[in-house]
Structure 1
């Protein structure tokens, strides 16, 4: 039998949690009592995901976006109170891993996204806390063709800020809300930068830096780390694993 604490201890070591200064606690956030036989994974600890975990009679829920973010109100009231009550009534444990899951060299969101996009020679930038990655396209292609390829891989059409009037060769990326890393990405000498979200100033920066920018969706770019980690845990601990997709257009 595997407890939630044992599962969290393994993940904490595997993901190197202690190396990260994060915006939220990583690890076990809500502790249920029962042993873990069935694990559900998802991107964000929202009510729909919790309802799915309850319906599936899961023992634990593993997410990328959990609870207790810096700067948010601490009381367990309103939406947060309802979510946590639902978990505790169902005796379901909640584990959450944010930056450590973005950065992991095999299971992380950035690595997994690079694999799905067919990028080669993918590696993290040493000066960016392992979160900014770069790699090469398998073959040079136009920005429009790469945007189409991204849309096909993620099932979501990205917003494409087209700047480069030549074939793309190298791409940098960081999943989620990392549009502000565009200047660091450009410093790597890439032709294109991809992240999840876009801000008003991102368009101007892309044009002035001379690189294409793709906003491929915060949710869409961060679906794959929890799936890879869940599959890894299922193999190690002999538990069931199911990923639940909660559609999110952002």
Structure 2
């Protein structure tokens, strides 16, 4: 498959034509060889992922967190030079889809979280926050255990005087902690996201809501996992999701 065709089909699948204001350019960020058969996928670009891609003779890398972030220095030196040099010298295409891979309703990070945590999606609070219901009311301890088992991460949790049994859930993959205030108006039992800020502790406790921070990395693995499976099944491409450990 041609590299520009791969970009188009993923743009179409992720509906990357909605004029979304993002922090990085979505799609093909660094051009490599013209034809693609072997694709490595990961959450974030890093030298370890690049080295694996070179070893496995990948034609392309697809990540959720790529290059060229807003407010980032445009100077290419040090580790950034090494990363880009690795791509160029090995003629590897680099693709990145950020917000489109968070908010897509078929292949996306938030959809994946709903699937593995058995949440029935009801809608969105805003483009980034989904909400829904569990099949039955369960204890918060049981829900935390499910997160631990499914994401292989012990989540941070607080919520003084929040209900012991939970049913209505709101969630946002990645750095969604800034949305806690907005979620309060929807009377959910739990708000799940990837990161947390100091102020979240007091806001959650004062409003008797469970706040769960499961990790930015693990809450954003799902989109690239689903994308990898879709590309393999529909287009017979060789895909390999590489999970580079990140405790954040």
CA distance in 2: counterparts of 1:188 and 1:135, whole angstroms: 11
Contact 2:122/2:133 (<8 A) preserved: no
The alpha-carbon deviation at position 216 of structure 1 amounts to 0.2
Residue 57 of structure 2 aligns to a residue in which SS?
A: coil
1:155 is aligned to: 152
The alpha-carbon deviation at position 93 of structure 1 amounts to 0.4
| Residue 228 (str. 1) matches residue 226 (str. 2) | yes
CA distance in 1: counterparts of 2:213 and 2:25, whole angstroms: 27
The alpha-carbon deviation at position 34 of structure 1 amounts to 3.9
CA distance in 1: counterparts of 2:131 and 2:163, whole angstroms: 20
Contact 1:182/1:202 (<8 A) preserved: yes
Give the 5 Å matches for 1:32-181.
32-120=32-120, 122-125=121-124, 127-129=125-127, 131-163=128-160, 164-181=162-179
The alpha-carbon deviation at position 72 of structure 1 amounts to 0.3
2:10 is aligned to: 11
What's the CA shift string for 1:212-242, capped at 9, x where partnerless? 0100000010001011112212223221011
Contact 1:143/1:162 (<8 A) preserved: no
Residue 248 of structure 1 aligns to a residue in which SS?
A: coil
Distance verdict in 2 for CA 1:112–1:186, change over 3 Å: same
| Structure 2: runs of 5+ lacking an equivalent | none
Residue 36 of structure 1 aligns to a residue in which SS?
A: coil
The alpha-carbon deviation at position 166 of structure 1 amounts to 3.0
The alpha-carbon deviation at position 55 of structure 1 amounts to 0.9
CA distance in 1: counterparts of 2:85 and 2:94, whole angstroms: 12
CA distance in 2: counterparts of 1:22 and 1:123, whole angstroms: 25
The alpha-carbon deviation at position 18 of structure 1 amounts to 2.6
Normalising to structure 1: TM-score of the pair?
A: 0.95
Contact 1:197/1:216 (<8 A) preserved: yes
CA distance in 2: counterparts of 1:27 and 1:104, whole angstroms: 15
CA distance in 2: counterparts of 1:158 and 1:102, whole angstroms: 20
The alpha-carbon deviation at position 137 of structure 1 amounts to 1.5
1:237 is aligned to: 235
CA distance in 2: counterparts of 1:197 and 1:82, whole angstroms: 29
Contact 1:42/1:64 (<8 A) preserved: yes
CA distance in 2: counterparts of 1:74 and 1:32, whole angstroms: 21
The one of 176, 194, 197 aligned to 2:195 = 197
Normalising to structure 2: TM-score of the pair?
A: 0.96
Contact 2:193/2:215 (<8 A) preserved: yes
Give the 5 Å matches for 1:177-188.
177-188=175-186
Equivalent residue pairs, number: 246
